[in-house]
Chain A
Amino acid sequence: MEQQDKIWDDLTGSDYKYGFVTDIDTETIPKGLNEDIVRLISQKKGEPDWMTEFRLKAYRHWRTLSMPRWAHLDIPEIDFQDIIYYAAPRTKPKYESLDEVDPELLATFEKLGVPIEERMLLAGVAVDAVMDSVSVKTTFKETLAEKGIVFCSISEALRDYPDLVRQYLGSVVPYTDNFFAALNAAVFSDGSFCYIPKGVRCPMELSTYFRINAAGTGQFERTLIVADEGSYVSYMEGCTAPMRDENQLHAAVVEIVVLKDAEVKYSTVQNWYPGDKDGRGGVYNFVTKRGMCRGENARLSWTQVETGSAITWKYPSCILAGDNSVGEFYSVAVTNNHQQADTGTRMIHLGRGTRSRIVSKGISAGQSQNSYRGLVRVSRKAEGARNYSQCDSLLIGDRCGAHTFPYIEVDNPSAVVEHEATTSKIGEDQLFYCNQRGLSTEDAVGLIVNGYAKEVLNKLPMEFAVEAQKLLSISLEGSVG
């Protein structure tokens, strides 16, 4: 038995492969949070008065709330006065070409494999690269502009399209929604804004790479996507964070508005620093992601591959308000070593004939805890609503945990709600079988895990799928291949 433990230790004891800190001058404001800090952030960003007011209201509301404790997570006490709420790279000006960009920053992107150069053009990807809160470079804006598509940082959007932002900001995730959404609304530094006009099909995948970099600064991203009637967009978000000892707070908000006949696909690969193998450090990731299918036949699909963070608290959700609108959630969540994840979705069926589909694949290794938490609610008016949920858990070793918390609330008798769940384990007999055919244990685990997660990985855009496959293997290296 001891020998086995040792094998699992060897297998699960791999180190984070993206651990490095970029040394760039960072402009920061004092630690802590109060109304003055909120005003200072708003002022630094040159925001209109209504925005400052929005932030202050959020801040005042946040002060009345306390940390949510209902998740199956062991969350250490967070001192919100010990956090720096704003950091911007000092090299502020916008660049015309890559030559002007800080070479260290470029090297960071290089290490991350961010295809910010010509590769992007070939891959058809426009990247709004976010480095510590301020957009450094936005590409392909012109191409998108020809179609009337707006894709920029949310700061720019506040400046250039204040009416659009004002109309939709907080309309899906109001600042009153939860503790972290209120905090985000008060102090968010930057993020992305995307508007697809009526009837326009966005010709390329839109993606944003987020990255935490300045020591001790929490990152509070805010993303707002609006797909006008009959439009389509596929949006990808991916992130890795450098290795460090202290914990970092990350509380992002993503809001998506999908109007009549429009479709949005939102894909995420999340690889924030998970902490070391003894559970020291790592990012605390408290994210509120929600989309509203406002019009008839609107479609919203969330796909996520979650491998990072010490703590993940995240439930990308769909409010299916429009008749016959469709919501989907495809998730692979990997936890290893001492990571904890409590993630899932909420499908709120309000309109008639609304449909939703949930496919969740949890993978637990090491001494980690991995929970799926999902709510399917069918309101009284949602005649003929349908939901199908599938929640699978895969265990590697015998010291990790997998938990499933499905909530189903149905107020309309015509609804059909299905839920399936399985739990399986990568057994020693499977590994022996693979080894006996000449496969190393790592290759075997990689094959098994990728096979298990295939249904979700297939939903990712091609170039992301390859990256995600690699990431799964790296995250479980040793424990998996």
Chain B
Amino acid sequence: MLEVKNLHATVDGKEILRGINFSVRAGEVHAIMGPNGSGKSTFASVLAGNERFEVTDGEVLYEGRDLLSMSIEDRARAGIFLGFQYPVEIPGVSMANFLKVAVSEKRKYQGLEPLSAAEFLRMMRERASVVELDSKLTSRAVNEGFSGGEKKKNEIFQMAMLEPKLAILDETDSGLDIDALRIVGTGVTKLKRPDNATVVITHYQRLLDYIVPDYVHVLYKGQIIYSGDKSLALKLEKEGYDWLINQYE
């Protein structure tokens, strides 16, 4: 599904990603861990197409297409979803309205008719329940006045609405209390299907209790320096990154 080869990227001339190789197949869950400043969020942003970052080398194939040549919105419509670490507030635009446009754009891209108002509302109700999101929030402006936990639940709610093929969740667990963590974690798991894939970026193993990864990767100084299975996350939790970094340096 996703094939990243030797990806290099810079921001303001400073190289952050220094040759990432990474591949994801349908049905898989990958976790990306690593110390602060290792390039995890940059990697997620570059895949989503954030223009703050400049790709200087490498190649990304998504379902056989050259992802890097696609616009941000086309990547989204083609099934790439980024769960934001800091979801952005958009005053004056209701969640319902926002999602209506997002869902219709995606359907248009796939050659489908827009949903009827009734179908759309039913879908919103159903999907809001996946993350136990208070349905009243969908009539409020996008993320405006949402608590930290509500914002993160709202990200997963949008993921449920947009049914991505590849979801990249950037520290979705940060700032969540134990209950919210469980709701978000199990919510993501409920959305798992054989034809989609999830990449979870996290600092903590606890989220991986809910979203069980097939692979765990360690990103350090813009490169994946080690990959393992889910037991790697437990080891990192216990021992930190030093043993890996020492090996690498």
Contacts and interface: CB of A to CB of B under 8 A. Distances in A.
A417 interface: no
Interface stretch (B55-63, B85-93, B214-222): B85-93
Contacts of A428: 52
A438 B105 contact: yes
B90 A438 contact: no
Q: How large is the interface on B (under 10, 10 to 19, 20 to 34, 35 or more residues)?
A: 20 to 34
B36 to A, nearest CB: 21
B93 A438 contact: no
B141 interface: yes
B91 A440 contact: no
Given A443-B105, A447-B97, A447-B101, A435 B88 contact: no
Interface string A422-439: 001001111011111111
B76 A436 contact: yes
A448 B93 contact: yes
Chain A interface, DSSP helix/strand/loop, else mixed: helix
Contact of A438 (B84, B89, B109): B109
Interface residues of A, number: 24
Given A432-B50, A433-B84, A439 B101 contact: yes
B97 A435 contact: no
Contacts of B99: 437
A452 interface: yes
Contacts of B48: 432, 436
B77 interface: yes
B88 A429 contact: yes
Contacts of B77: 438
Given A439-B101, A440-B73, A433 B93 contact: no
A6 to B, nearest CB: 11
A93 interface: no
Contact of A452 (B49, B51, B92, B102): B92
Contacts of B91: 424, 451-452
A438 B71 CA distance: 10
Contacts of A454: 92
A433 B158 contact: no
A430 B106 contact: no
A432 B72 contact: yes
Contact of A451 (B49, B72, B76, B141): B141
Interface of A: 3, 7, 424, 427-430, 432-441, 443, 447-448, 450-452, 454
12 contacts: A429-B88, A430-B88, A430-B89, A433-B88, A435-B71, A435-B76, A436-B48, A436-B81, A437-B162, A438-B73, A439-B73, A439-B98
Given A424-B91, A439-B101, 16 more contacts: A7-B51, A427-B88, A428-B52, A429-B88, A432-B48, A434-B98, A436-B81, A437-B76, A437-B98, A437-B158, A438-B106, A439-B98, A439-B105, A441-B73, A451-B92, A451-B97
The 4 closest A-B pairs by CB, nearest first: A451-B92, A435-B72, A438-B76, A433-B88
